């Protein structure tokens, strides 16, 4: 089997880095299934600290369950005090359709909050069939999704700053004045000059 290297693109790309220095983060964590969510929370904090965030720049907000995460995340985002919001929870499938309803609403609410507030939201809500799957994603075989969500939040916060710091592709100097506008301006100027002479 031959492994080929990833081809390099010829285009310049804007990317966020993994430097959380000077940035503020809020973590919304559900208490329901705390056996899992506390592991996600510890790893998310670890990810932020390893990326350069200060302990004082990390705010933790606890909510009863995953369904309450979007409202808390949106309320935090609307304060404009945070560079990114990290959402952590754990949903396990049961015998009823309750799981599907909650999963859809949580995902929709978090996504809508991010889009409408312009503050990046990292999705660290586990949606698992079994408790074993959740345990695997909270620090065992599958890594820790809390840590991954923290790194995503750091990168997106940096990306937002990188994008907003770029010069516009269309600056005022690049836009030529309209030939009609200049004619109108000339006529107005010449009329006012004539009125002054009288």
The catalytic position among 54, 80, 98, 184 is: 98
Burial of 82 (0-12, 13-18, 19+ CB in 10 A): buried
CATH architecture of the region 25-164: 3-Layer(aba) Sandwich (3.40)
HEC per residue, 104-146: HHHHHHHHHHHHHHCCCEEEEEEEECCHHHHHHHECCCCCEHH
pLDDT class of 192 with cuts at 50, 70, 90: low
CB 136 within 8 A of CB 38: no
| Global pTM value | 0.78
- pLDDT tens-place string over residues 57-81: 999 999 999 999 999 999 999 999 9
Q: Is the pLDDT of residue 187 over 80?
A: no
Q: Report domain extents, the chain.
A: 25-164
Greater confidence (184 vs 154) lies with 154
Instruction: In whole angstroms, give the CA distance from residue 24 to residue 60.
Output: 11
Q: Is the pLDDT of residue 182 over 70?
A: no
Question: How many Cα atoms sit within 13 Å of 30 on the Cβ side?
Answer: 20
Does residue 98 carry a catalytic annotation?
A: yes
pLDDT at 11: 79
Q: Is the pLDDT of residue 154 over 60?
A: yes
CA dihedral 105, 108, 114, 116 (to 10 degrees): -100
């Amino acid at each position: 089997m031959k492994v080929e290297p990833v081809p390099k693109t010829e285009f310049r790309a804007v990317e966020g880095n993994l430097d959380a220095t000077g940035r503020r983060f809020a973590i919304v964590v559900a208490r329901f299934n705390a056996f899992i969510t506390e592991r996600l929370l510890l790893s998310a904090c670890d990810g932020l600290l390893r990326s350069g965030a200060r302990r004082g720049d990390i705010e933790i907000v606890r909510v009863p369950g995953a369904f309450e995460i979007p409202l808390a995340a949106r309320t935090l985002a609307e304060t404009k005090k945070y560079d990114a919001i990290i959402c952590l929870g754990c949903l396990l499938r049961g015998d009823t359709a309750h799981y599907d309803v909650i999963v859809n609403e949580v995902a929709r609410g978090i996504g809508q909050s991010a889009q409408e507030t312009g503050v990046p939201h990292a999705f660290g809500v586990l949606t698992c069939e079994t408790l074993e799957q959740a345990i695997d994603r909270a620090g065992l075989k599958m890594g820790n999704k809390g840590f991954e969500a923290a790194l995503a939040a750091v990168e997106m916060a940096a990306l937002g700053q990188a994008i907003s710091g770029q010069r516009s592709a269309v600056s005022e100097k690049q836009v030529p004045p309209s030939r009609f506008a200049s004619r109108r301006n000339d006529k107005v100027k010449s009329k006012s000059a004539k009125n002054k002479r009288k």
